[in-house]
Amino acid sequence: MQYLKSKQGGPRTIDYRGTITSLKDKNLTEIKATVQEHNKTARKWLRLHPTSKAEILRVRIMPRGPRVEAAAKDGWKYKAAYYSYLPQRHATHFDVYVGEDTHAMSIMRRELKTGMTASQQRKHDDLIYQARRIEWKGRDQLHIKEYDRLHGTNHSAKG
């Protein structure tokens, strides 16, 4: 892994760890293992000390390389198709970043507040969504019946 300066010559973001040429790079494997161990410890620490400043981290891998050629190769007529991102299959190298995982931290804060694990939160949210869909469907049916009553139509009849 090598540390590359930004194109402007200045320092990079503090999350930047380096640049690799292969996703099987030994340094990347070490970083992932270190972050995984850190997150395990951070979660335990947060459960014991909910007001602590511990962070859950994530590893982000950003593909880099020629974007216009990649878009042409994939059949895009619009040459800027990959200006905002580049599929990994077209990357010549990858930048590695390690930073706070805000989504995981949000789930962790919710766990500390409610006592529900991430799995329980998903199940709870799914049940809430299903209940709302039933409510919305019922409201739609009421609106259709009211519309039919006011306009003398019969949209609620199946046919």
The DSSP annotation for 73-99 comes to HTT-SSTTTTSS---GGG-SEEEEEEE
Q: Which whole-number Å values give the CA distances from 6 to 12, 71, 92, 95, 99, in the listed order?
A: 6, 24, 17, 11, 18
Which token pair is 122? 């998903």
Q: What is the pLDDT of residues 73-120, one digit of tens each?
A: 989 888 888 888 899 999 999 999 999 999 999 999 999 999 999 999
pLDDT at 158: 58
Cα within 13 Å of Cα(137), Cβ side:
6
Enumerate the domain spans of the chain.
1-115, 117-159
| Entry pTM | 0.73
More confidently predicted of 58 and 155: 58
CA trace torsion 88, 94, 99, 101 (10° rounding)? 10
pLDDT at 159: 47
Contact assessment for residue 118 and residue 43, using Cβ atoms and an 8 Å cutoff: no
Average pLDDT of the chain to the nearest whole number: 89
Contact assessment for residue 11 and residue 27, using Cβ atoms and an 8 Å cutoff: no
pLDDT at 35 over 70: yes
